[in-house]
A and B are shown apart, each in its own frame.
Chain A
């Protein structure tokens, strides 16, 4: 079975994208233009619940009431597509960690575009325009979010390791939906939908390999030494000047190297004739 791996890159991208719209506050005005109070606008990831317009509240008398929560921002992921226009060398390994005994490498990340729909719902036009004015100036037409993946050493650039990953967020357009006809049982909800594209990345699994500590190399310089390859004679005197290596091994087998502390398989091949 393939080793399990999961870097949470997609979830981290969604969370950071949601964070762009966090902490938006709008003001409620009196007729003379004076600010009455400030209202913070909640941000919800839309697939979580369909009932995000409503919230349970406890009144001063302890009574639980359900009340509509407006304004609100609902965000939904609408697409995920391979971005061939951002592709770079996919065979290139990136070394993320190197210790005395092993080395960890991963291949270049794979570019994917993630589409989001940001739906702003409010009861008053002034609420919508305030929220829009708090979002759009920061996209001209791009802004950046940042994710880190510590497993791949993609962490804060102030530390050793790969720099953190900046993802470009592109504003693509908006469509206002202003209800004109409302029946008596309903109330008016103004909605404004903004669409964004995040230039994200997906990652292939990290490969950790042991480092090569010792290379065992046997060289036969001529036919005579090749013929004598199975000799168990110790010392050069029994072979003559043609052999540069004295063999005490059969042609193949398993051997343990004390120095490198490795068990290795070996096989001796016939001399290559040029």
Chain B
């Protein structure tokens, strides 16, 4: 029997974004990818419903699966390329001026989160299907925090994620 005594490490991951729909080159998404420092495998919840019988209760699944948004934190590059890429991606869907919706195919992409073992070998691939950015976090500008890098965050919505072992 093979037992693995080694533990997973939170640093062992890599996020890969394809070309964002509003990009002409990969410049912005590359700046985003190389500056990501924190992310999650989002939680998922299955709805449950109680069924009562003779004073007792049992929990049954109610069929619906909810994926929480995919949260990504990144350091903003000095030319704001990665932040602007996400901003343009959002405005491509609705700019609150003259474009109020977009065809779904125009703004969704499939992104990948790779989990590696301690030797860099990919052990798990999490593919986020039909992902699009729905929240771009605030950026705090300050005269008193000059020693820190500027950081931003974004939430991505998606239909589901599928896991594949490698």
Contacts and interface: CB of A to CB of B under 8 A. Distances in A.
B11 A163 contact: no
B49 interface: no
A246 to B, nearest CB: 42
A140 B1 CA distance: 34
B1 A98 contact: yes
B118 A163 contact: no
B122 to A, nearest CB: 15
A166 interface: yes
Given A144-B118, A144-B119, A162 B2 contact: yes
A37 to B, nearest CB: 34
A255 B128 CA distance: 66
**Which of A140, A157, A166 has its CB near the most chain B CB atoms (within 10 A)?**
A166
A119 to B, nearest CB: 27
Count class of interface residues, chain B: 10 to 19
A103 to B, nearest CB: 10
B140 interface: no
Contact of B3 (A94, A142, A144): A94
Interface string A7-39: 000000000000000000000000000000000
B141 interface: no
Given A142-B9, A163-B2, 20 more contacts: A94-B3, A95-B1, A96-B3, A142-B11, A144-B118, A144-B119, A154-B5, A157-B2, A160-B2, A161-B2, A162-B2, A162-B5, A163-B3, A163-B4, A163-B5, A163-B6, A166-B6, A168-B9, A168-B118, A201-B5
18 contacts: A95-B1, A95-B3, A96-B3, A140-B11, A142-B9, A142-B11, A157-B2, A160-B2, A161-B2, A162-B2, A162-B5, A163-B2, A163-B5, A163-B6, A166-B6, A166-B118, A166-B119, A168-B9
Interface of A: 86, 94-96, 98, 109, 140, 142, 144, 154, 157, 160-163, 165-166, 168, 201
**Lowest 9 A-B CB distances belong to which pairs?**
A162-B3, A166-B118, A166-B6, A163-B4, A144-B118, A94-B3, A95-B1, A165-B5, A162-B5
